[in-house]
Structure 1
Amino acid sequence: MPAARTLRRTAMATVREGRQSILMVVDVQVGVMHEAWDAARVVRQVARTVERARAAGVPVVWVQHGSDELAPGSAAWQWVPELLPAPGETLIPKRYNSAFEGTALEAELARLGASHIVLAGAMTNFCIRATAYGALERGYDLTLVNDAHTTASLTLDDGGTVDAAAVVRELNVVLPWLQYPGRRSATAAAEAVEFVFPGA
């Protein structure tokens, strides 16, 4: 489907036409997950979400970060062993927090006719948050899988800490409250995600 036909523009908003859902898995890589909070459980929940999406015939889009610390091809850059893209699934390399910046993601979503993104992965306060906000700003409905994203705790220069579990909880609380014209934002557990937007 041509990209131009997937948009409805109004004076206030850009909204994606249609009801095609996709699952987007972001940065569930060895070097990202090795210090992440509750990583083993989160990986299981991401894997379960992937399994359910595939069973429902929903496209899975894999977003993989590359940087000096996650050099493409290195051991740290690889997907965790429990998660591997299937043949034919879309792979999007990125270098910035948002999966939309400097990538072919929007073109791939247009090709798939996507209007609703189900989002899972890491890190909550960096790439997940940036990608979630980027999706809503570009007119997609969004469901964050609330038990399938994680981050690492941060130690600040003043000795304080930002607790990973609190960061995860905060994003889960905030996302359903976000209001964008013509779009909907929600969270759902891996076992409860509907691959059509709730109420559609």
Structure 2
Amino acid sequence: MEETGCEKVHIIAHSKGGLDVRYMVSSLGMAPCVASVSLVSAPNHGSKTMDALTRLPRWAFRLAGFFVNLWYRLLGDRHPDFCAVCGQFTTAWAQEFNRANPDEEGVLYRSYAGAMRSWRSDVFMWWQNLIIGLVEGENDGLVTAESAQWTGFQGVWRGAAGRGVSHMDEVDFRRRPLRRRGEVFDVVDEYIRMAAQLKELGL
């Protein structure tokens, strides 16, 4: 704001970043500086799958954490800590977080979700999608469409010809449009559309 001279900022936040932004706006007093918050597949209501995992015996939970951390290291995360963050993905934690961080008046909230058509939609998210799908239903490989729904819900991204959109697709991990049966879905276009809509609203 100091560099550009703008009065407020628009924030687009993905995944757990959405919770960080909601906390910043509601609990850290940043609402006067924020015009809008757009949440993309943020786990706003937690995960029933995580509820089930945290009830596992400690040894089994740690073993699961080892393999999950190994997978995410392969994907580029240098310091994954599955077990440490699990508590912040339970439905009970989400309920308390939502109570403590309500929407702030004067800030426009919008939310979006992604959903994979099946576990075949993304080779990097297949096993997560399969497990979460069995426990909870439609999801993007990490977050269910139900959990992502928050104020101003704008719908579910389903990709080209229903191919589906994964948690990694939402941040353009492959750096290319998704193509299926002659249709094209480019997530970059969705972010451009977000910005255009905010401009049209005069924000």
**Under a length normalisation based on structure 2, what TM-score does the superposition of the two structures give?**
0.31
Normalized per residue, the structure richer in helix is: 2
| Bigger Cα Rg | 2
Normalized per residue, the structure richer in strand is: 1
